[in-house]
Amino acid sequence: MPRLLLTSLLVLGATLLVAQQPGTTSPKSATNGLPAGALPYDPAKVTAAIRDSYYHPDEMHGLDCAISVDWRAFFSALKLNPAADRLKAIQNLKIRSQAVREKKPEVTFEWAGGSLDTKEQLENGLKETLDGFYQVYWSMVASSPIGSAADLVKIEPLPDGGVKAYFSSQNANLVISTDKDRTPTHFTMDSPAMNGTIDLHYVSSPKPVPGDLRRISSMDLTEQIGNSTINAKLSLDYQAVGGFYIPRHVSYNVGGALPLSMDFSGCSVSKGATAH
């Protein structure tokens, strides 16, 4: 397998680590460091409204799925033309991931009808990529990135009726801009290790019912480390499994030139409440 494939997968996994920063929040608390009456907004109500504004299955503990990759599209975008036998071996590769909150996913591979001399590189690259995806998924899609009103240090009104909420925790600063419904649309993160931004986009249920909230459909991510800037886009749609909406199709794009598209099928879920 060309080294470019491995490099792109590893870069992609590293890029998506930007979403870990909002997850480092303290346990839920009724207290706040802001003086009483200092704001026109109640910090506890603002954080609760942000948490409740979009779908995130906090009660889901684990996700087990078969994963298929659109390798033809991936190689085509990179202008690579693998030999027929190598492409066949890759396309016949069966991938399964078992992902649990706050743990690295367990990824297994079954090579049907032959393998590659570089299969270890490919497997390691896919493991890094799925690890990066699940870090984003658990922290941003399957749970709210806000853990406590105690981390909220300032709230500013926006002209469209939304707010800009400033959080600080463990040497990392997070600023969340919301729309008038308190749905988060833009994140700005600042830490000694890196700076980053995330723009969130949503999709409504085709047949919405009470409690069926809008779901995250895509994220535009920018990561800055030193003088280096990496842009990535993550898109996903959903399927209903075990009472939850989980990923059905996921696509990445790094720098507008490194796409990777995956389908999740044969999934099962496990339940277990997430602490806030």
Q: What is the pLDDT of residue 115?
A: 67
Contacts of 84 (CB under 8 A, 6+ apart): none
- What is the percentage of the chain residues whose pLDDT exceeds 70? 79
C-alpha 37/C-alpha 71 separation (Å) is 57
Q: What is the pLDDT of residue 144?
A: 83
Cα distances from 264 to residues 48, 96, 109, 163, 253, in angstroms, run: 31, 9, 15, 35, 18
Q: Which residues of the chain have pLDDT under 50?
A: 1-39, 275-276
Q: What is the pLDDT of residue 114?
A: 67
What's the sign of the alpha-carbon dihedral 27, 30, 34, 38? positive
Q: Which amino acid is at 261?
A: S
The pTM for the full model equals 0.78
C-alpha 167/C-alpha 263 separation (Å) is 35
C-alpha 252/C-alpha 264 separation (Å) is 14
